[in-house]
Every structure is written in C-alpha cells, then in structure tokens.
Amino acid sequence: MKNGARIDFRNVRKAYADTTALHDFSLSISEGEFVTILGSSGSGKSTVLNALAGFAPATSGEITIGGESVTYTPPERRNLGMVFQNYSLFPHMSVAQNIAFPLRMRGVKRSEIAAKVDRALHTVRLEKYAARMPKELSGGQQQRVAFARAIVFAPPVLLMDEPLGALDLKLREALQFEIKEIQHLLGCTVVYVTHDQREALAMSDRIVVLKDGRIEQVGTPTEMYDRPQTRFVAQFIGQTNLLKLELNEQTAYLPDVGAQWRADNKADPASARFLSIRPEKLERRQPSEQDLVIEVTVSEAVFLGDVIEYSAQHASGFSVNFREPRASHANVASRGEKIRLAFSPQDAVMVPGH
C-alpha cells in the first residue's frame, strides 16, 4: 500500500551568509519510498531536511511534493509529519493529549480525534499508556509517542531527524524494525536523516551519501556497500581496506602489499586510484589462479560473538583488516602468526582517489 507522495529536489542550493550548506542538490524520491540522507556532521543532511520541512527555505532551486511546488510554502502548510531526536513532547500533556495535538491544530472534529488517537496508539503498541505523562515513560516509549503524534493525521511524507540517536543500542535496533514495519503498513514516504551508516543500511530503500553539501552517491544499501563509487563512500559505508593502485594497460600494481593483479575488468584507469576490499572478502583459504594473495602478520584478534575481527600488517607496514565468522575456523589466528589472505578480483572495487 502506498499513501505517500513523490518528492523532487531540483538544483536546490542553501546558503547562510558566506557559507553554502547545500550545493545544487537534485534528487527524486518515489511514493512510499524510505530514503536515508547519510553523512557526517556538517555534511548538509539536516539542511536537506530543513529545506524540505520549510524551516530553512532554499536559497535557489525548487522542491515539489506530490507535484506541487513547496519551495516557499510555510512549514505549517506542507502537511508533513516530523520526528526529532529529542522527542519534543509537551510535558504537561498526557500521551493521548500529545498525540491528539496535531489533530486539534488541524480542526479535526472532537468526535473523530479519539478514534484516530486510539488507532495511532495501537500502531505503536502503547494502548495502555494513553493517560500517562511523558515523565512516566522510558526513552523508547517517549519516542513511540513522538512517532504516533507524527503519523496520527496520516501525512503523505514523514521526516525523521536522527530519531534514535538518544537511545541505547538494543533499543535502537528494536525500533528500527518497528519503524520499517509501520512505514510499510502506512505506505508513507519517509526521509530519514542519520550519521549512523549501520542504521542507514538496515532501514533504507535507498541511501543518499552527502559530503560537504554535495551528493557523493545515491543507491540501494547493497549498491552502496558492494559497489561504492568514491573513496569517501567506500570508507564511510562499513569497513574497508583501501589499497593504492598503479595502473597500466595490462596490470594493476598494488604497492601497499607488493602485488600485481591482472586488471582485465578494471574501471576507467584515468580515475581509478584505489582498490576497495571489504574485510569479510579476505579469507584464509586455498587460493585459485585468479585470486590475489596477501601475506600478513596478525596484530590483534577481537571476539565479537558471531564473528572475529582481525587487524594484521603486511611487511610494508600497511594495515589490513579482515573478518571471519566464528564457525568458519576451529583455530583463531593468534598475535604474531603469519597467514595468507586470498580474495577474488570480483570482490574488489576500483574507486577514484578524490
């Protein structure tokens, strides 16, 4: 079910005095899509959300929701739901009153408000908490109330600004599933802002990675992880090993590990400067003829329950990280042990150097 609205950013720019926070931002979001704007502090991700919400109107360009331009429409007329990191609940109102507030502001009939509030409470599994005050709730419960308040009037677009940032890890992970489940149920379009790449990978239909107010890459979580298009994305999304590349017509030389690799399937040699290899793609196994082999000495082994993460060093001093499922080897590699790691050329990605 899709009850969401399409969103289009066309060449949106946002400037503050002498600083440009957003440069020529263009993006289309489909009805009912869950899109995460991902970036580090100062990347421009909150600027995108504020421009869409109307809190910080665009300096130039156009934003449309459902085909209608809202570039200079006041926030209260955009009919958007919003969830913030700090909950922003009214402390003097009960849970039910907090959820009912946007309905009252929209002039919904009193006879309809109770039914809508009950439905929202049921959606977030807080039926028994309607009469409680915010101070009587846990952080996770307060965030559920904030979420219920944002969806109670069935907005076509829901904006979420780091809503799980103040919660502990276990609760964040639990709410990630709940938010996705509710979004699928409602069919609304979601624009989600976070700096947490694991959160983005877990929740998104597509991810937009920002750096210095510009889009680095747009893609599905799988595309972002398996096929990063820039050095920044390769390092920002998950962990990776970046090996310097020296290319000629026939071969790719990796000076960091003193190895050559036939580059038959290489990317544009004019732009490729690094080889990105995810830690789980480096394996202690018998290599095939096509594999590249790296000889390293184990520095550390960190037990993480289902996996063991290793740090190792090549003789050149280059650090290599690799990861193994706990059950894949009966023996855990120990500090100082010399091992050989193999990987397939198909599991490595060439990326530009910028």
CA distance 37 to 26: 13
Give strand ranges (E) for 44-174. 60-65, 68-69, 80-84, 157-161
Crossing angle of helices 139-151 and 110-123, rounded to 10°: 130
Q: Same domain, yes or no, for 170 and 209? A: yes
Q: pLDDT by residue (tens digit) across 288-326? A: 888 889 999 999 999 888 899 999 999 999 999 999 988
> Does some domain include residue 245?
yes
Q: Same domain, yes or no, for 154 and 27? A: yes
Q: Same domain, yes or no, for 119 and 165? A: yes
Low-confidence ranges of the chain (pLDDT < 70): 1-2, 249-250, 261-272, 328-330, 354
SS3 143: helix
pLDDT value of residue 321: 96
Q: Same domain, yes or no, for 141 and 14? A: yes
Provide the total of helices (H) and of strands (E) in the chain, helices listed first: 8, 20
pLDDT value of residue 45: 94
> Does some domain include residue 268?
yes
Q: Same domain, yes or no, for 15 and 68? A: yes
Q: Same domain, yes or no, for 15 and 41? A: yes
Q: Same domain, yes or no, for 281 and 250? A: yes
98: CATH? 3.40.50.300
CA distance 115 to 224: 42
Q: Same domain, yes or no, for 85 and 45? A: yes
The vertex-335 CA angle with 332 and 340, nearest 5°, equals 70
Who's near 350: CB < 8 A, 6+ residues apart?
Answer: 245, 252, 266, 267, 272, 274, 275, 276
DSSP string of 175-237, one letter each residue: HHHHHHHHHHHH--EEEEEES-HHHHHHH-SEEEEEETTEEEEEE-HHHHHHS-SSHHHHHHS
CB atoms within 10 A of CB 70: 23
> Does some domain include residue 135?
yes
274: CATH? 2.40.50.100
> Does some domain include residue 59?
yes
Q: Which domain holds residue 296?
A: 239-352
Domain count, the chain: 2
Q: How far is CA 247 from the centre of its chain?
A: 33
> Does some domain include residue 234?
no
> Does some domain include residue 277?
yes
Out of 226, 253, 278, pick the residue that ends a domain.
226
Who's near 181: CB < 8 A, 6+ residues apart?
Answer: none
> How large is the C-alpha radius of gyration of the chain?
24
pLDDT value of residue 191: 97
pLDDT value of residue 1: 47
Lookup: tokens for 90: 């009214």
pLDDT value of residue 70: 95
- The identity of residue 115, as a single letter, is A
pLDDT value of residue 199: 92
Check the CA dihedral 158-85-232-64 and report its sign: positive
Q: Same domain, yes or no, for 221 and 244? A: no
> Does some domain include residue 231?
no
Q: Same domain, yes or no, for 163 and 271? A: no
Out of 226, 249, 284, pick the residue that ends a domain.
226
Q: Tell me which residue of 65, 55, 64 sits closest to 5, measured CA to CA.
A: 65
CA distance 312 to 322: 8
> Does some domain include residue 2?
no
Out of 173, 202, 226, pick the residue that ends a domain.
226
pLDDT value of residue 330: 61
Q: Same domain, yes or no, for 186 and 280? A: no
Burial of 282 (0-12, 13-18, 19+ CB in 10 A): buried
Q: Same domain, yes or no, for 210 and 278? A: no
